[in-house]
Structures are given as structure tokens and as C-alpha cells.
A and B are shown apart, each in its own frame.
Chain A
């Protein structure tokens, strides 16, 4: 006897992601999920962006790491609240851990929530955590061949940050290969070529984030409301 079922085995995860998305819509908080390899510069990107963003927006961060509070300590040094999730071994942040972490985030006082995922090009790309956009962070030393090797990330991403462009002179990174591969995977994906270390090119990326924030938040931002209060 055959029983036809059609049961989605990831229904639980999708339900949690949907409730996170609804919560962030209600609170009008922009959530950006940063995904990239270990060492590509996700934390450095935040360190370079936060001081600029906090001039007009209130920023909070959820840090995902297998172990240590090293990244979280760096973020806290910028002065914004940071909630650390040590996954213990899990290679990505699943939606249930994000939902749990959100209970610790003061959403009413937040305009932009960055989620820095565990360093990994594979697993985080398959997880919907209720974010507004996934950001693929890639750096020159990783090579120009990553887009087709990890296509799902670049399919899911709403933009690409290409970090460490200050190293272009000493690496054989074929920029045209990257763009050709991106065209094969997703048309029209914005690419921000920058160096989080020197600050070169960061302004366009920061403007992109700020634009998304204003679109979601409207004015006034939590930051400017707090200033008035």
C-alpha cells in the first residue's frame, strides 16, 4: 500500500525563517547576512563600515563562530552591541539560533542588523534565516574561480563584496573571469570592489547598505530618534 505524502522536510526551518522575517518587517530592521570563507574579511568589512553607518543608523551585530569571541570582541570595540553565537561545531547559523539570538537584540533601537555567518562558502548559503539580503564576501587571495565552484552562494546573494583589492598587484586574480562567471550565475549582481583594510572603495558599499536601510526603515531612523530623545 502506497501513501502519497509530499511533506517538506525543511518545513520547520522555513517556518522559523518566515517568523523572523515578519518580526524584522514589523520592527523595520534591515538584516544583512554576510557569508564568505574564513579570512575573507567579513569582520574587517564590518569594522570598516560600522563607524560610517552609525553616523545615521543604529547598528547591531550577531556574530557566528564555531569557537572564541575574537570576532565579537572586535565588533564590540567599534561600540555597537554584538550578540555572539558559538555554534560549537555547526558550520552555519541555522534559523532557530538566529531566532534565539534575536531575543537578546534591542530591535526597537536597531536600524541595521548584520549577521556575520560562520566562515564557509557552502552551508550558510542554503539557510534562509529571515534576512533581507545575503551578501557574498570574497577576497582576492581566494582566487577568481569561486563563483562556479560555489554557485549557490552567488545565486542567493544580493551583492558581492570583493575584498582585499589592495593586493591586486601581487596576486594573479583574473577580474574578468570573476565577472564572466557571475554573468553565468546571476545577472545584474552589484559587485563592490574594496579594501576593508585601506578603506578604498568602501563608500559605495556603505551607500548601498544605507540605501537598503532607508528603504526598509523610512525616516527617521532609530539612531536619529534616539538623538531627539
Chain B
């Protein structure tokens, strides 16, 4: 599989950035926000900022994602929009006491029970949280 720069698609953040750009464009082109009224008629609304949250287990590197987002949006209506990536902690639920806690230093051991008998609550998601467009 060859990516847009003639390279093989081994960079995960590139693949992810492609889905992200597609999703942002789809939302920005939706009827309710696509255009705004001006004195001369209407114009395309600019996307100002894009917010993404990344779970702690996903292996997604925020700076790498930003780099590819910028590359992919060059020359498109998203050029210049700011991508804000927030890394979220991995949160697990203890199967013994039901307590929830954030994983620190890769320890999945519940402090109360002393055992790593947990289910993932959050941490495996990459979510397009919101986009901000011109008023």
C-alpha cells in the first residue's frame, strides 16, 4: 500500500491522520456549518481548531500525529487549522473490588487488592472530540 508521498504506509500516525482529515472535512462540509453569510454573499467557514483525545494504550504519538495532520492538510481548506492532541490516561476497573484507577508506570495492580485483575475502562480510543469553526 503506497501513501500520498510515495512511501509505504507503515507510519500509523499517517493512517490515523488520514481518517482524521476525512472526518474533519466531512463535518466541516456538513450543511449547517459549511458556509457563513458575509456582506458579499456567503463564504466557506474556516476550521480554526481540531481537538483529539488519545488513550494511553493506543501507541499514538501526539507530535507525530500533528506532523502528518499538517502535511495532509497543506493546500486544503483545513490548512492552518490547529490540531490539539490530548493524551488521556489508561483507566482500568478492578474485577475484585470494583475500584477504578489510572495505570501508572505500566502497573495494572489494584492498590487495594494487590492484584492485577482488571478490565480496561478507557485508554484504547482515539476520539475526534470537537472542531472549532469561524463564527
B85-116, CB under 8 A of A: which get 1 and which 0? 00000000000000000000011110000011
Chain A interface mostly: mixed
Interface with B: A70-78, A86-94, A165-173, A217-225, which one? Answer: A86-94
The residue in chain A whose Cβ has the minimal distance to the Cβ of B7 is A89
The residue in chain A whose Cβ has the minimal distance to the Cβ of B18 is A9
For the complex, give the distance between the alpha carbons of A3 and B23 in Å: 13
Find the residue from A88, A91, A187 having the highest chain B CB count within 10 A.
A187
Interface with B: A15-23, A147-155, A198-206, which one? Answer: A147-155
The residue in chain A whose Cβ has the minimal distance to the Cβ of B10 is A89
**Is the CB–CB distance between B116 and A183 below 8 Å?**
yes
For the complex, give the distance between the alpha carbons of A80 and B100 in Å: 45
A interface size (C-beta, 8 A): 28
- Tell whether B43 is near chain A: CB-to-CB under 8 Å: no
Known contacts A5-B130, A126-B58; is-contact A188 B117 (Cβ 8 Å): yes
**Least Cβ distance of A180 to chain B in Å?**
11
B interface size (C-beta, 8 A): 36
Known contacts A88-B1, A155-B108; is-contact A187 B129 (Cβ 8 Å): no
The residue in chain A whose Cβ has the minimal distance to the Cβ of B113 is A187
**Is the CB–CB distance between A2 and B130 below 8 Å?**
yes
- Tell whether B131 is near chain A: CB-to-CB under 8 Å: yes
**Is the CB–CB distance between A123 and B23 below 8 Å?**
no
The residue in chain A whose Cβ has the minimal distance to the Cβ of B124 is A126
**Is the CB–CB distance between B23 and A9 below 8 Å?**
yes
**Is the CB–CB distance between B130 and A91 below 8 Å?**
no
**Is the CB–CB distance between A91 and B115 below 8 Å?**
no
Task: Give residues in A with beta carbon < 8 Å to B.
Answer: 1-10, 12, 88-91, 122-123, 126, 148, 151-152, 155, 183-188
Task: Give residues in B with beta carbon < 8 Å to A.
Answer: 1, 8-10, 12, 16, 19-20, 23, 27, 33, 45, 52, 57-59, 106-109, 115-117, 120, 124-135
Extra A-B contacts (19), CB below 8 Å, given A10-B126, A185-B108, A187-B116 = A1-B33, A1-B45, A1-B132, A1-B134, A3-B132, A4-B130, A5-B128, A5-B130, A6-B128, A8-B125, A8-B126, A10-B125, A90-B10, A91-B10, A126-B57, A151-B106, A151-B108, A152-B59, A155-B108
